[in-house]
Amino acid sequence: MNSIEKELTKERKVVHQGRKILRIKPIVWAQRYWLLILLVLVIAVTILLGIYDIKRITYKSEGNEYVKESTVRNILSEDLGKNFFCINPDTLEQRLLENTFVKTADVEKIFPNELIVEIEEYKPFLLFESENICNIFAIEGVLLETKTEIDCTEYAGEIEVIYFKGEETQIIEEEGKKYFYLSDEVSDISKVLKNFDIEIVKITLKENILTVFTDSCSVVIDINQELDTELARLYLVLEELDNLGKEAKSIDTRFERPVIQIDK
């Protein structure tokens, strides 16, 4: 009987010690938050294995001529291998916008290790030559690039933009960027002419008089006058000539009744 009581006493002590162990704070905490601990361990292991390191940059802006995929990859090359959670898309977009041909940039993070980049680019529209310097502008007036020691007329033909000869004063600077002062005017003139399948080849500016040379005629415009009025005159003249099946050698829109020289 005594031996049985001794055995029961031993068993009670073991159970009691076990309960004491279970009541130790770290073990109680681990039992309560085991799922969180497991999650932290999984994240730590995957970070060590580099699963969240940026491995791929996908460029989705197909058809861009001036901002190539290689250019984008070169700009973002330092971000390859960085942790996914340390990447700030806004910072990457600002870096892409430092390229003068980038109009808008959108960077999206795709879990766990990919970046998707979409770019809208500026298109060269006009080459402005001043003091033997070729300044290439977008239709929005933004300066895209500057070239020296080349023939500006030939280069304008190569890249298929309007050649403009004028004075340096036509370039203005705002917030650290250079713009072509007459970009809107040239764009509006081009739109009117394109209605009749006429393309601008060259423009010269002298004493506020624009002489627009096209593939079929020349047009004279005074930029001190109301441009919309002169363009309306130009449109009416071209429309009338088109109806008559004739072509003009020159059109001077400075007058209420434009001066027209007909190609005989």
Give the pLDDT score at 218: 97
Give the pLDDT score at 30: 59
| 54 within 8 A of 117, measured Cβ to Cβ | no
Give the pLDDT score at 8: 44
- 175-177-179-184 Cα dihedral, nearest 10 degrees: -60
Domains, in order of start, for the chain? 2-48 (no CATH), 56-121 (3.10.20.310), 124-262 (3.40.50)
**How do residues 196-247 score in pLDDT, each as one tens digit?**
999 999 999 998 999 999 989 999 999 999 999 999 999 999 999 999 999 9
The amino acid at 21: I
Structure tokens at 73: 């990859």
Residues of the chain with pLDDT > 90: what percent? 67
- 237-243-244-247 Cα dihedral, nearest 10 degrees: 50
User: How far lies 44's CA from each of 48, 72, 87, 198, in Å?
Assistant: 6, 31, 18, 65
Residue 141's φ and ψ, nearest 5 degrees, are: 95, -5
Separation between Cα atoms, residue 103 and residue 174, nearest integer Å: 16
pTM over 0.75: yes
Instruction: Please state whether 237 falls in left (phi above 0), alpha (psi between -120 and 50) or beta.
Output: alpha
Give the pLDDT score at 14: 46
**How do residues 34-81 score in pLDDT, each as one tens digit?**
677 667 776 676 666 567 789 999 998 878 999 999 999 999 999 998
Separation between Cα atoms, residue 159 and residue 154, nearest integer Å: 9
